[in-house]
Amino acid sequence: MKIDIDQFMDQGFLILRNFIAVDKLESLRTSCDIALERQKAFWAQQRGPDDPSGGKYEKDRQPRVHMEIPGIIDEETSNIIEDFWVADDTLDTATQLLCNPEPSVSSMMMMCNPVRDWPSGTGYHRDIHPIDMAPLDALVADFLENGPRYTQWNVPMYDDNVLWVVPGSHRRRNTEQENARFLDDLKPHSDTAYTHLQYTEGGEPVDLKAGDAVVYSNFLLHTGSTYTTKKRRTLHGGHAIFSDYPEFGFTESLAPKARATFETFARRGEQKKDATEASLRAVIARDSDAYRTAVESIQPGAGRSGKTVIAIYLCKAALHMRALKDPDFVATEDTKRRASVSHNISLNWGPDFADRFSLGESRILWERFKPLDAKLSSDIEMFEPAFQSRPMYYYFNELPEGADAESWIASWSNGTYCTL
């Protein structure tokens, strides 16, 4: 199917009407209900001593079913994946939008209604966290130069207008007016958060009918408005050029074509891990030619801004590796927490990937990357609302002078910094 790529790049989102065929909706609704019931059973088993009987399901304003969890997908529910996540139109759309025409599914969820009404929403935010990604200015420059590495979806099985967006906000920083509103939204409110949506400059609802889809940039300012008991079964997740599947059992119940598609995704993910390792080993060896070759394998054709974001992601990977492997290394609790899990869209492959390197190699890597990390940091703690980060010393927006890939490569390829 042909989509308006220019509109996506300009506005940060696309609404695709009747994306799910009417003749598939009813069976998808049935499967979504089954998936939720299975997830509810897991939540009930996992509840804490002070939790209600339903556990997380009765506590959250937006309960989410994760399709990769063992036991959720089988022959009864496999159509959730087959009829959307790897359907031809879905993958074709992702192929047209992403910077690399080899998309993989990165996450598969379903957002559901809560058991009681919640008068306030999530508050406007971008689905990015500079503490382990990159400053917004760098991400935007890469997006405009190369296109997105990741896109995310909402696909409702029932009419849904929960999502609000600020069109075009993925291309810029927050305005002063927005920051004032966002900071106010961080304060406790009983009934005013929804009102703020109407006053946020440029905010508008995304009104979706059953079977419609919206695909949007994770940099885009967006919010869940209000969460009510109105039945909600909205598929949510994304496609990316980097993928990882710690849990792969869900593919066993898929039709052969869909299963083969995920096997291709998994192979691509392993290839990206190998390219990430090759780039880091090139840094250890001070081999700038090998480094550039490995980066080309990570993201073929990336321009200058794209290569800078990759260098920053690798810098974060080196930091995580040092935090995981060196008990004497001083790292923040937030850094330790993020190092302990994977976040494949930013080349954070998790603890298993760190095991490819020795403690000594992790120390060398950090010495190579430490000057870049210093460029990305301030001497004072900073905070910017609408990011998924707490107050920190890393810049939320600014890409400081000299924090580009070429300047950093020159710092270690000419012997300026420590060799250990």
Q: Is residue 141 assigned to a domain?
A: no
Predicted confidence (pLDDT) per residue in 152-204, tens digit: 999 999 999 999 999 999 999 999 999 998 888 777 654 555 555 555 678 99
**What is the predicted pLDDT for the residue at 345?**
93
d(CA 297, CA 274): 9
417 has a pLDDT exceeding 50: no
CA 351, 352, 358, 362 torsion-angle sign:
negative
Predicted confidence (pLDDT) per residue in 194-252, tens digit: 555 555 678 999 999 999 999 999 999 999 988 999 999 999 999 999 999 999 999 99
d(CA 249, CA 202): 43
Shared domain for 233 and 321, answered yes or no, is no
Shared domain for 250 and 298, answered yes or no, is no
What are the structure tokens assigned to 269, written together? 């993910």
d(CA 8, CA 11): 5
**Do the beta carbons of residue 254 and residue 53 sit within 8 Å?**
no
261 has a pLDDT exceeding 60: yes
Q: Is residue 274 assigned to a domain?
A: yes
**What is the predicted pLDDT for the residue at 121?**
79
Q: Is residue 134 assigned to a domain?
A: no
Predicted confidence (pLDDT) per residue in 341-368, tens digit: 999 999 999 999 999 999 999 999 999 9
**What is the predicted pLDDT for the residue at 186?**
78
Instruction: Grade residue 420 by pLDDT with cuts at 50, 70 and 90.
Output: very low
Q: Is residue 143 assigned to a domain?
A: no
Residue-range definition of the domain harbouring residue 397 = 269-413
For residue 128, the SS3 value is: coil
127, containing H or E segment? none
Contacts (Cβ under 8 Å, ≥6 apart) of 32: 65, 80, 110, 157, 233, 235
Domain count, the chain: 2
Shared domain for 244 and 359, answered yes or no, is no
Final residue in a domain of this structure, among 262, 279, 298: 262
**What is the predicted pLDDT for the residue at 198?**
55
**What is the predicted pLDDT for the residue at 197?**
57
Distance spanning both ends of the chain, measured CA to CA:
54
Burial of 349 (0-12, 13-18, 19+ CB in 10 A): buried
Shared domain for 226 and 279, answered yes or no, is no
Burial of 407 (0-12, 13-18, 19+ CB in 10 A): middle
Contacts (Cβ under 8 Å, ≥6 apart) of 7: 14
Final residue in a domain of this structure, among 222, 241, 262: 262
What are the structure tokens assigned to 52, written together? 């209600």
What are the structure tokens assigned to 251, written together? 């593919």
d(CA 100, CA 294): 16
**Do the beta carbons of residue 305 and residue 136 sit within 8 Å?**
no
**What is the predicted pLDDT for the residue at 199?**
53
Final residue in a domain of this structure, among 222, 244, 262: 262
**Looking at residue 122, which CATH number applies to its domain?**
2.60.120.620
Shared domain for 288 and 224, answered yes or no, is no
For residue 132, the SS3 value is: coil
Shared domain for 284 and 399, answered yes or no, is yes
Strand partners of residue 109? 66, 236
Angle (CA) 302-305-308 rounded to 5° is 95
419 has a pLDDT exceeding 90: no
Shared domain for 86 and 203, answered yes or no, is yes
Predicted confidence (pLDDT) per residue in 48-57, tens digit: 999 999 999 9
418 has a pLDDT exceeding 50: no
Q: Is residue 120 assigned to a domain?
A: yes
- Average pLDDT of span 1-8: 95
| pTM confidence score | 0.94
Shared domain for 224 and 314, answered yes or no, is no
What does the mean pLDDT of the chain come to? 93
Q: Which of 254-268, 331-345, 357-371 has the lowest mean pLDDT?
A: 331-345
d(CA 63, CA 47): 14
d(CA 84, CA 68): 15
- Average pLDDT of span 5-16: 98
Neighbours of 411 (CB within 10 A): 18
Name which residue leads in pLDDT, 180 or 121. Answer: 180
42 has a pLDDT exceeding 50: yes
Shared domain for 254 and 300, answered yes or no, is no
Instruction: Grade residue 120 by pLDDT with cuts at 50, 70 and 90.
Output: confident
Q: Is residue 93 assigned to a domain?
A: yes
Torsion angle in degrees (nearest 10) through CA of 7, 13, 14, 19? 160
d(CA 267, CA 349): 14
Contacts (Cβ under 8 Å, ≥6 apart) of 63: 36, 39, 43, 56, 57, 111, 112, 113, 114
**Pick from 373, 367, 410: nearest CA to 393:** 373
Token pair 């976040």: residue? 343
